[in-house]
Amino acid sequence: MKLQIPFVVKCAMGFVALFVAFAIFGQWLSPYEFRETSLLNRLKPPGTEGYILGTDARGRDVLVRLAVGAQITLIVAIVGTVIGAMLGSLLGIIAAAKRGWTENAIVAAIDVQASLPIIVVALFVLAMFDNSFTLFLLLIGLTGWEVYARLMRGAVLSAKEHGYVTAVRALGASPARIYLGHILPNVASIALVQFTINLPLTILLETALSFLGLGVQPPLTSLGQMMSEGRDRLLTAWWLTLFPGTIIFLLALSVSLIGDWLRDHLDPTLKSR
């Protein structure tokens, strides 16, 4: 049966592909280096000769900075979401497999993590410790792991009662083979769908922290940091916030649309709709 992809989802996939291409190759569209300043060309509007998307308050080319910002935002979003997905999924599987005090400890950690406002935690950690890019990535990665853990724990507990698991166990398969070779492939789609749901949330979290000055630090840049730099010039230099803000909005929306579509096709409870 041919998979039918709605037009709006195709548009979302197209924008995500375009964003990734721009993040990888966008620097080649400008002759300038993203840290190159020119005080004689400060706050040039879009369409100025030599500056397609204008310049910022230091005379830096907005186009090349958008490309580098998209690259950093993409790295933070993917790496951060992957860390959370792997950690949460692993803990969820361990909780369902071991049960007893191990499960109780993991469930308690899930409840604690779910009750903590991540923005407040991020503000505290990044303010108390050296705000390095590695620390920022780890902090982003520890966001949302409890959702994966809760979902994978429930899915594995349900899968353990299925007939194929009972049959494999009766044949003498080791626990590692049962969980990794039989149960995990059958519940992996749950983690995949949650990944697409968490990805836009990670993008928005990185944007919020960078906007507050606690995310990506100079000389690196990100889309959120670019918006922060232009917030005091919304009327006089609107392009400094409009361009990165539009990219963030469209990216988060596109990934959310793709995630909803994947959930409708991969979640067995929704396939009958």
Could you state, in order of their start, the residue ranges of all structural domains in the chain?
A: 7-266
Residues 180, 183, 187, 189, CA torsion sign: positive
Which of 19, 99, 31 is closest to 64 using CA atoms? 31
Which of 199, 125, 184 is closest to 152 using CA atoms? 184
Q: What is the pLDDT of residues 71-87, one digit of tens each?
A: 998 999 899 899 999 99
Who has greater pLDDT, 98 or 171? 98
Q: Is the peptide bond before 219 cis (omega within 30 degrees of 0)?
A: yes
CATH code for the part of the protein at 7-266: 1.10.3720.10
Number of helical (H) and strand (E) elements in the chain, helices listed first: 11, 0
pLDDT value of position 261: 87
pLDDT value of position 272: 46
As a whole number, mean pLDDT of residues 209-218 equals 81
pLDDT value of position 273: 45
Question: From the centroid of its chain, how far is CA 257?
Answer: 14
Does position 263 have pLDDT exceeding 90, yes or no? no
Q: How confident is the model at residue 45 (pLDDT cuts 50, 70, 90)?
A: very high
Who has greater pLDDT, 153 or 168? 153
Query: Are 183 and 165 in contact, with CB atoms under 8 Å apart?
Result: yes
